[in-house]
Structure 1
């Protein structure tokens, strides 16, 4: 505050001090530039962190989906092998039966007992008509 005396008077008036216009705006511009640089730096840093974490998430998701697909394929193969194994176990049990074994050998390998005649007939009735 400045004290100023009025002309031809004993009274003084208090007036606010006048500020220099050249220092304050330049300081304000400097502060704006600094804040702008800081915001840009923080934005770039945030973008880098976001891209890094995003790529990690995408990579993990791709690994998960490929693993899930492999598990599904292997599960189907396992089920198929289990079905084949159960069929083979049934066939082993049937091959223990002498009558079934004789029938199987006769059909598959065309074996016959001595003096026996074997005739091959078509299984499908429609094959005869054609």
Structure 2
């Protein structure tokens, strides 16, 4: 602020400092250039951060989906194994019975009792026609 005294008066007037018009266009151009560079730099940093976080989200999503797929596959395998285990437990209990064991050995390994004749017949009509 500049103080100016009015002519033939004891009163002084406060006026703002006047800016030189010749420097203002050059200075504002420089300031605009600086602000533009700063905005570009901030934009680039923002884009890099956004790409980094976006890639992390995509990787996490891919990992999650592959984990979910492997969980479903392993659950199916587990259910098959449990079914096979229950079948084997039933078979173990049946093999404890001697009558079942004798019948199983005759059918599986083609054993026969002394004096018994064994005939092999086809299982279906299609095998007869061949």
Which band: TM-score by shorter chain? 0.7 to 0.9
2:50 paired with 1:50: yes
Deviation at 1:125, TM superposition (A): 3.5
TM-score normalised over the length of structure 2: 0.79
Q: Distance in 1 between matches of 2:107 and 2:50?
A: 71
- Cα distance in 1 for residues equivalent to 2:52 and 2:114: 82
Q: What TM-score do you get using the length of structure 1 for normalisation?
A: 0.79
Q: Does 1:80 align with 2:75?
A: no
Alignment-derived partner of residue 71 in structure 1: 71
Runs of at least 5 residues in structure 1 that lack an aligned partner in the other structure: 6-16
Aligned equivalent of 2:108: 108
Kindly report structure 1 stretches of 4+ aligned residues shifted beyond 2 Å: 17-21, 125-130
Report the number of matched residues.
Answer: 118
CA RMSD of superposed structures (Å): 2.3
Residue 26 (structure 1) aligns with = 26
**TM-fit CA distance, 1:18:** 7.8
1:80-114 per-residue CA deviation (whole Å, 9 max, x = no partner) reads: 11111111111111112222111110011111111
Hey, what does 2:97 align to over in structure 1?
97
Q: Please list the CA deviations of residues 7-44 of structure 1 after superposition, one character each: whole Å capped at 9, or x if unmatched.
A: xxxxxxxxxx9864311111111111111111011101
| 1:118 partnered with 2:121 | no
- Displacement of 1:129: 4.4
2:39 aligned with 1:39, yes or no?
Answer: yes
